[in-house]
Amino acid sequence: MKKTNKLINISSRYTATFLVLFMFLLMSFTLSRDAKTNDDSFETVKNLDIFYSVYKELNLYYVDPIIPGDIIKTGIDAMLKSLDPYTVYIPESKIEDIKFMTTGQYGGIGAVIRKRGEYTIIYQPYEDSPAAVAGIEAGDIILDIDGRSVKNMSSEEVSELLRGEPDTKVMLNVERLGKDKPVEIEVVRKEIKRNSVPYYGIIGDNTGYIALSSFTNTASSEVKDAFVKLKKENDIKSLVLDLRGNPGGLLIEAVKICNLFVKKGELIVSTRGKVAQWDKEYKASSEPLDTEIKLVVIVNRSSASASEIVAGCIQDLDRGVVVGQRTFGKGLVQTTRDLSYNGILKVTTAKYYIPSGRCIQALDYAHRNDDGSVGAIPDSIMSEFSTKNGRKVFDGGGVKPDVEIEIEKLSMITSSLIVKDIIFDFANYYKFKNADIAPTESYVFTDSDFEKFMEFIKDKDFDYQTKTEETLKQLIESSKEEKYYAVAEAEFETLTNKFAHDKDKDLRLFKEEIKEVLSQEIIVKYYYEKGGIIYGVKNDPEIKNAISILNDQQKYNGILKPQN
C-alpha cells in the first residue's frame, strides 16, 4: 500500500506540472487577437484538455502503475508518426545519435554490431578503431559488457552500453571461433570519426573515383581534398562520384559539394515551407574547383535527401550524367528545435527544390489513404520541367537517371547464403584458417577455396524457394480452392518435380556468382571497408558503364543535349 501511495504522489507531482504547463498554454492562446487564430487556438486548447483528462483518469484508475515519462513519450511519438517518418522527438538520452548523424563522430569502440539469435555479434570492427586495436574480431559473439549479460538485449541496447566518454574503459566477454572458453577483452573508448569519403582512387584510364557514403559536416571538405589529390597526383580527365547507398545528411554540405563543380552564382537548391522567413535560395557562393571535367554521378534506390540534391543539381544544370536507378525521393527538409529538459524536436519545416524548380518528394504524407497508409505521387500529376539545356525532367518520385541500369539480381541460392549468414561465417572461418592473403588488387578466391566452402556448408541450413516454385505452389492452392486440382493432379506433380530446386546443382550453376560474393566478404575481413570497396569497383557494372560514357565524348555530349 505504501508503495502504491508513493507512486500516486510522484505521479501527482507530474500531474501538477502538466497542469501548470496546460494553463500557460491556455493563457497564451486566449491572448490571441486574430479571429482565425482564436478558432484554431480553441481547437488546440480543447484537445489538450481532452488529452490531459485522459491522462488524469489513467493515472488515477488504471489497474497498474503508470510511468508518466513513458506514457507521454508514447503519445508524442504516435502524434509525430502521423505526420512523416522524419519528424521525431529526441530525448536527452539520444542526443549522441544526432551528433553522429551530423558529424560522424561518437564516443565508443568503433565497430558495426548486429543482433543474431539471443546475442549480438561484432559484424565488423572499423579499421584502426579501439575495437580493432584491442583485438576484437568480426564474428565475436558478445556475451556480457562490464559484467552485465547482454542475452536477449536489442542491438540498440548493446550499442548504448558500448558507447561512452572517450578514454573510458569497457570490458567485453566474447565467444570466439576456435576458442573453447570466452575471451575477455578490455577496450579503451575513443572519439570515433566515420569518414564521409571511405575511398577514392583511379578507375579506368585517367578517371577519378570518389565514394561518398554520407553528408556529415566534413563531407564537402573530404570530397574537395580527394578531388584535389586525384588531379594533382594523377591528372584525371574525368570523375565518377558514387552516391549509392548514401542516405543524405546536411543540406549545406550538398550545396558545397555541388559548388565544387558549378559556376559561382548558380542556384543549387531552394527551400520553401510554412514560415516564409525561412525560405531560402542556396547558390554557389565560392569559386569552383573545376567546371569542365567530365562528371558521372552514380545513384540507386538508397540514394536519398542530400544525395538527391547533388544528383538533381548536376542533372538540372547539365553539368554531368546521372547513372543508375531512380533515387529514393526524399524532398523534405528537417530543422532541429531545442525543447525543455534538453530534448530536441527534429521537424520537417520545408520542401527543397532543385535548379529546374522541381521537388523530388516521392510520398505524399499530406494526403494519406483512408487506412492511414501513404501513397506515392501518381505519374498522372507529375509536372514537366526543363534542365539548363532544355532536356525534359519530372518532379515527384526521386531523380530519374539519364542512363538507367537495371540491378543485377542475385540468384535465390546466393541470397539465401547471405541472409542465413553463411557467407559471413565462412569468411570468418577462412580468416581463422589463413593469417593473411594477397593484396586486394591481386586476391583470387580459387576453385580449391570453393571446394572448402562446399565442405563447410554441408551441415548448414540454407534452404530456399525459387520464384517458380512459389508461383507453382500458389497455382496449386488456387486450383484446390476452385476444385480443379483433381483434374490436373498428375500434371501438377510432374511440374513440381521438374521445378524442384537442387541445392548442389544450384551451387555449381551459380558458382562464379557465389565466389564473387565470398571474395568481397573475405577481403573486408582483412582489409576492412576500404578493401571491400576497392575489390567491388573492379567488376561493378554501373562503374563500367560510367567509364564507357566518360571515354566516349560523343556519347557523353549526346546524353546532355535535349532530345528531339
What's the rounded Cα separation, in Å, for the pair 348 and 249? Answer: 14
What's the rounded Cα separation, in Å, for the pair 189 and 160? Answer: 13
316, 318, 402, 540: which is the annotated catalytic residue? 316
If phi > 0 it is left, if psi is from -120 to 50 it is alpha, else beta; for residue 245 that is: left
Query: Which residues, at least 6 apart from 38, have a Cβ–Cβ distance to it below 8 Å?
Result: 29, 32
- 82 catalytic per annotation: no
DSSP string, 275-313: SGGG-EEEE--S--S-SSSEEEEEE-TT--THHHHHHHH
Encoded amino acid at 11, one letter: S
155, 159, 305, 307: which is the annotated catalytic residue? 305
Using only the alpha carbons of the chain, give its radius of gyration: 28
- Residue 175 CB neighbours (<10 A): 15
What's the rounded Cα separation, in Å, for the pair 188 and 109? Answer: 7
Cell numbers of 555, please?
556519347
Closest CA to 372 of 112, 93, 96, 84: 84
330, 431, 525, 530: which is the annotated catalytic residue? 330
Cell numbers of 164, please?
561512452
- Residue 520 CB neighbours (<10 A): 22
What's the rounded Cα separation, in Å, for the pair 515 and 547? Answer: 25
Query: Which residues, at least 6 apart from 61, have a Cβ–Cβ distance to it below 8 Å?
Result: none
Is residue 195 within 8 Å of residue 212, measured between CB atoms?
no
- 64 catalytic per annotation: no
Burial class of 137 by CB neighbour count within 10 A (0 to 12, 13 to 18, 19+): buried
Closest CA to 301 of 407, 386, 158: 407
- 305 catalytic per annotation: yes
What's the rounded Cα separation, in Å, for the pair 141 and 172? Answer: 10
Which amino acids are annotated catalytic?
A: 305, 316, 330
